[in-house]
Amino acid sequence: MSRYLRLLRIFTGATLSAQLEYRANFVGALLASLGEVGVALLGLGIVFGQPGISSVGGWSFREALLVTGFFMLTEGVISVFIQPNMSKIADAIRTGSMDFTLLKPIDAQFGVSTRHLNVLRAPDLLIGLGLIAYAASGLSVTPGGVLGAALLYVSAVVIVYCIWLALSTTAFWFVKTQNVAELFNGVFGAARFPVSAFPLPVRAFLTFVVPVAFITTVPAQAMTGELAWGAALASPVVAAALFVVTRLFWLRAVGSYTSASS
């Protein structure tokens, strides 16, 4: 365990020093972050800007903004921690450099999941937290609600990670799947809004098929104190189940890996 913690520190240091070489890119990354939050806020702003609309799916503006905050935070988590690693899996398989990862005396899944960071997109995390804080300041939020939201958000991150890993792992068989994660982004776009803002069949899809509801709506509900116990329990259960399934899937994929030249 302590060896893995030490490795995490080394990986972080290496990836940080590599990225700080290209400081000018920060301006570009900041523009991209602003574009991202612009899309999220415009969508919400136009809906609430119509005369006579004071709630979306039973959520007031502040409450819906809370969901948008969790959406931006998750965009940040994906851009900073998940995407930089997962996008390299397909390439490593195509070029055969996955060999080096598999030969190292550490768990390969740990290796491919933690080696890289994209600190340039860290503003997304701050924007997300800022939006959550601003939205919560106008609502009555209890410390228990914040704690519950934080815990449920951990399961949310695990769910996001598992979906990305599962999609990226398909590259072991199909090789050309650099873009497959885009499919998740397409569905994840719906997480800008609370799930109750969607028609009923879509709501079911976002809860049971692609569990997007657990990523932004459920933590926001925990914060406003409107979360049912069932959903609060379901989130960690779904996260744990997904983690086990993707772990098995990953092991199966690595077992069938034959390197690039063979």
Partner 1 sequence: MSRLNTARVLFATRFAEMAEYRAEVVIWMLSGTLSLVMMLVWMAQAQAAPGGQIRGYDAAGFATYFLSTWLVSQLLVVWVAWELDFEIRQGTLSAKLLRPLDPMWTHYASHVAERLVRLVPMLVLVTAFALLSGARFTTEWWAYPAALGLAALGFTARFLYEYAIGLLAFWTESSTSFQELAWLVYAALGGMFAPLDFYPAWVQAVAVWTPFPYMLGLPAQLLAGKAGPEDALRGALVMLGWLVVFWFLRLAVWRAGLKKYGAVGA
Q: What residues line the site for partner 1 (CB under 8 A)?
A: 22, 24-25, 27-32, 34-35, 38-39, 42-43, 46-47, 49-50, 52-53, 56-57, 176, 179-180, 182-183, 185-187, 189-190, 192-193, 197-199, 202
Residue 231 C-beta: closest distance to partner 1, Å? 20
Q: What is the DSSP string of 183-228?
A: HHHHHHGGGGS-GGGS-HHHHHIIIIIS-THHHHHHHHHHHHT---
Residue 24 C-beta: closest distance to partner 1, Å? 6
Please calculate the CA angle 88-120-178 and round it to the nearest 5 degrees. 20
Q: What share of the chain is helix, strand, coil (3-state, %, to 5)?
A: 80, 0, 20
Residue 169 C-beta: closest distance to partner 1, Å? 16
Residue 38 C-beta: closest distance to partner 1, Å? 5
Residue 205 C-beta: closest distance to partner 1, Å? 10
Q: Are 139 and 66 in contact (CB under 8 A)?
A: yes
Whole-number Å distance between alpha carbons of 235 and 219 = 10
Rank residues 32 and 129 by Cβ distance to partner 1 and give the closer one. 32
Rank residues 35 and 144 by Cβ distance to partner 1 and give the closer one. 35
Q: Are 195 and 207 in contact (CB under 8 A)?
A: yes
At 56, give phi and psi (nearest 5°): -120, 115
Rank residues 12 and 178 by Cβ distance to partner 1 and give the closer one. 178
Rank residues 43 and 111 by Cβ distance to partner 1 and give the closer one. 43
Rank residues 57 and 130 by Cβ distance to partner 1 and give the closer one. 57
Residue 191 C-beta: closest distance to partner 1, Å? 9
Whole-number Å distance between alpha carbons of 177 and 175 = 6
Whole-number Å distance between alpha carbons of 153 and 222 = 10
Rank residues 54 and 256 by Cβ distance to partner 1 and give the closer one. 54
Residue 22 C-beta: closest distance to partner 1, Å? 7
Whole-number Å distance between alpha carbons of 213 and 238 = 11
Rank residues 34 and 154 by Cβ distance to partner 1 and give the closer one. 34
State how far the alpha carbon of 211 is from the alpha carbons of 206, 226, 237, 239, in Å: 5, 19, 12, 10
